[in-house]
Chains A and B, each alone.
Chain A
Amino acid sequence: MILKFEVPDGPPDPKLRAALEAVLPVRDRDRFRAAVLARAVGLRPRTTLERWARPALAAAATIALAAWIVGGLAAAPAADALTLDGAMVSSATGSTPAALVIAAPRPPDPETIYAGMVSQ
């Protein structure tokens, strides 16, 4: 015998439905409803702005972090160069003040030059 529900497009079978309802029973409707409503206290539909607020904050934090890292990396080579220049001059002249003068980012202060000459 070919049963109706064997046909893929056949209509829903009431007996199969009854069997499935027996196997997957739904009990305590009132308790379930009460449980959902109790948990729903304080919840409300999230507005579009609220939905976007969290991703926006996360994006802003990510951008700030990225900017901080990039800024740090950009600043780092200058410091390294300063140190390298100083080290080269120190090793060549044996004079720390001379190294400071050469490696300084601003024009040298005459007092520094003078102090260097005195120390030599």
Chain B
Amino acid sequence: MPEPSPDEGAIVARARAGDRDAFAWLVDAYQEGVRRVTRAVLHDADEADDAAQDAFLSVLVKLEQYDPRRPFRPWLMRIAANVAIDRKRRRQVRQVQPLAAEAESYEPSPLVQAERSALRERLEAALRHLPERYRIALVLYDVEGYSHPEIADILGIPVGTVRSAVFHARRTLRPLLEEWREDR
């Protein structure tokens, strides 16, 4: 896991006491990881950001439940992952639009699309086709730097399952990543 800020505990305590600046600091410090985890679940950037916002608001309301003896970031990530997964499930339940419209929502904006290489799109597609748990585990491990036991704690699954998820996700992306390396 990335090293927490030395005064993270104090900042969380201040946020818990209702200090808005402290809460803003937490949003600033951890938004990247939270947004990436929700994006790994939901794909669509706007919806993922909505979920990430919901996660921070949920954290604010639940701060009294946070155990200050435990690290803050995994607790935050667990909430973010759960919020995103819940949102995805609700979307699937209430989904009335045809699949074509859903696929359309994954399309990036024209500007972003222009910026993206074909390889990036293929990597994105490959990532999208991975099981949800694999994607979250991969992002938490390779991007956010959490260990397997920490991810197991965040997702509430056995460590062996996390290892397997990261392994299979990496193996799926490996051929694309080799091309990526050549392209870079």
Q: Could you list which residues of chain A lie within 8 angstroms of chain B, going by C-beta atoms?
A: 3, 5-6, 8-9, 12-13, 15-27, 29, 32-33, 35-37, 39-40, 43-48, 51
Q: Could you show 13 A-B contacts with beta carbons less than 8 Å apart?
A: A3-B178, A8-B166, A15-B177, A21-B36, A25-B45, A26-B31, A26-B35, A26-B39, A32-B35, A35-B49, A36-B57, A44-B61, A45-B18
B39 CB contact (under 8 Å) in A9, A24, A46: A24
A5 CB contact (under 8 Å) in B35, B62, B170: B170
The answer to whether B124 touches A23 (Cβ under 8 A) is yes
A29 CA to B30 CA in the complex, in Å? 11
B contact face: mostly helix, strand, loop, or mixed: helix
B interface bracket (residues with beta carbon within 8 Å of A): 35 or more
B91 at the interface (CB under 8 A from A): no
A6 CA to B177 CA in the complex, in Å? 12
Cβ of B160 to closest chain A Cβ, rounded Å: 10
B120 at the interface (CB under 8 A from A): yes
A contact face: mostly helix, strand, loop, or mixed: helix
A102 CA to B155 CA in the complex, in Å? 71
The answer to whether A39 touches B57 (Cβ under 8 A) is yes
Q: Known contacts A9-B163, A33-B27; is A16 also within 8 Å of B173 by CB?
A: yes
The answer to whether A15 touches B53 (Cβ under 8 A) is no
The answer to whether B61 touches A43 (Cβ under 8 A) is yes
* Chain B residue contacts of A37, Cβ below 8 A: 20, 23-24, 27
* A18, A24, A27 pick with most chain B CB within 10 angstroms: A24
Cβ of B42 to closest chain A Cβ, rounded Å: 11
A95 CA to B167 CA in the complex, in Å? 90
* Chain B residue contacts of A44, Cβ below 8 A: 18, 60-61
B30-68 interface mask toward A, CB cutoff 8 Å, 1 = contact, 0 = none?
A: 011001100110000100010011001100111111000
* A12, A18, A21, A23 pick with most chain B CB within 10 angstroms: A23
* B39, B40, B141 pick with most chain A CB within 10 angstroms: B141
B142 at the interface (CB under 8 A from A): yes
Cβ of A37 to closest chain B Cβ, rounded Å: 6
A55 CA to B31 CA in the complex, in Å? 32
B106-147 interface mask toward A, CB cutoff 8 Å, 1 = contact, 0 = none?
A: 000000000000001001100100000000001101110100
The answer to whether A32 touches B53 (Cβ under 8 A) is yes
* B20, B166, B177 pick with most chain A CB within 10 angstroms: B177
Residue of B with least CB distance to A50 = B64
A5 CA to B170 CA in the complex, in Å? 7
B127 CB contact (under 8 Å) in A23, A27, A43, A47: A23
* Chain B residue contacts of A21, Cβ below 8 A: 36, 143
